[in-house]
Amino acid sequence: MENDFTLDDGLLEKLNRYTRTPVSAEEVYTFPVILCDNEVDRDGERFSIAALEKLAQLFVGKTGIFDHDPRGENQTARIFDCEVKTCGDRLTEAAEPYTCLVAKAYMMRTEKSKDLIAEIEGGIKKEVSVGCSVGKKLCSVCGADLKENPCGHIKGRYYDGKRCNVILDEPTDAYEWSFVAVPAQRNAGVTKTYSDDRDAVEVKALKRELSLKEDENYRACEMLKREIMSLSFLCRPIMAVETVKTLTETLSFSQLEKLHETLKEQCSREDIPLQLDSGKPAKKPGENNNFKLKKQR
């Protein structure tokens, strides 16, 4: 997938929209940069293709800095054009065509920028990371919006042979892009924020809160799975026990609750008592032990 370009008259016109006075092609240094893509990154997250298309609009005109440091002296370049490109013969982990956001950036040729230009040309300054805000974080397994209704699926775990990841969707703003040493995304790098107005302390608190909710949700889901397996042994099963076990690994918390209630109703129709788990053998040959089924809150 070719990303290099020639600064023709049309592109120079786009570039000059961001200069105070028109500049010539000889006065500027231009280069392409992959900002982000739809591949699962080191944080177990990925952008949706629709998000990349929206970011292509939001990143035009945004400044390039170093290590996400917003001080003015760190401004190095500016994006004057941006587009989404797809590589049809390459698939991502999520089995989507590899799609990336490619920007065209420029900086003025000055004595100060000479060393940076040499480092870019020599491949030293290469990896980048973007700062942006997204409206939705979606579970790749069940589609739940993790910001509004966290599900029980754990990022990085495998469900039905596929690794769970978080899909970043509906971008609301793009702040900047930075040269960094180790980006989150392997092909470009991305630093993601999910709020426009929280400071660093509030963001850390939010992350801790979300982490606790995910842990609590995970424990509740595991408890439901155990109780569903108990019920599948107790009553004449609607489906094979092994099938039930495999199915529970792919269901969200609400879906697990529905399956749990269905099995309880099945046992009730068969007049099977669901009271205490005594841990003792059945009194009569072939008689089932009673299990204690805790109600989920």
pLDDT in tens, 229-274: 777 766 655 556 667 777 777 777 777 888 778 877 777 766 655 4
Asked if 180 and 202 sit in the same domain, the reply is no
Asked if 93 and 225 sit in the same domain, the reply is no
In this prediction, residue 291 carries a pLDDT of: 40
Q: How far is CA 86 from CA 7, 9, 166, in A?
A: 22, 25, 21
Is 140 part of any domain?
no
Asked if 104 and 202 sit in the same domain, the reply is no
Asked if 58 and 188 sit in the same domain, the reply is yes
Whole-number percent of the chain with pLDDT over 90: 42
**CA–CA–CA angle 179, 184, 187 (5° rounding):** 75
Is 29 part of any domain?
yes
The pLDDT confidence band at residue 171, using thresholds 50, 70 and 90, is very high
Asked if 182 and 244 sit in the same domain, the reply is no
Asked if 108 and 79 sit in the same domain, the reply is yes
Asked if 178 and 272 sit in the same domain, the reply is no
The pLDDT confidence band at residue 280, using thresholds 50, 70 and 90, is very low
Is 204 part of any domain?
yes
Q: Which among 52-61, 174-183, 242-251, 257-266 has the top mean pLDDT?
A: 52-61
- Of 127, 161, 196, the residue at which a domain comes to its end is 196
Q: What is the mean pLDDT of residues 120-136?
A: 88
In this prediction, residue 236 carries a pLDDT of: 57
Asked if 181 and 60 sit in the same domain, the reply is yes
Asked if 224 and 203 sit in the same domain, the reply is yes
Q: What is the mean pLDDT of residues 147-170?
A: 91
Lowest mean pLDDT segment, chosen from 86-100, 149-163, 182-196: 182-196
In this prediction, residue 66 carries a pLDDT of: 87
Q: What is the mean pLDDT of residues 115-125?
A: 88
Is 125 part of any domain?
yes
Asked if 105 and 211 sit in the same domain, the reply is no
In this prediction, residue 278 carries a pLDDT of: 39
The domain in which residue 100 lies consists of 9-135+174-196
Please give the residue that has the higher pLDDT: either 173 or 191.
173
Is 231 part of any domain?
yes
In this prediction, residue 287 carries a pLDDT of: 43
The pLDDT confidence band at residue 279, using thresholds 50, 70 and 90, is very low
pLDDT beyond 50 at 196: no
Total domain count, the chain: 2
Please identify which residue in the block is written with the tokens 């809150």: 297
Asked if 217 and 90 sit in the same domain, the reply is no
Asked if 43 and 54 sit in the same domain, the reply is yes
Is 153 part of any domain?
no
Is 161 part of any domain?
no
Is 4 part of any domain?
no
In this prediction, residue 223 carries a pLDDT of: 82
pLDDT in tens, 62-83: 999 887 777 767 788 999 999 9
In this prediction, residue 227 carries a pLDDT of: 82
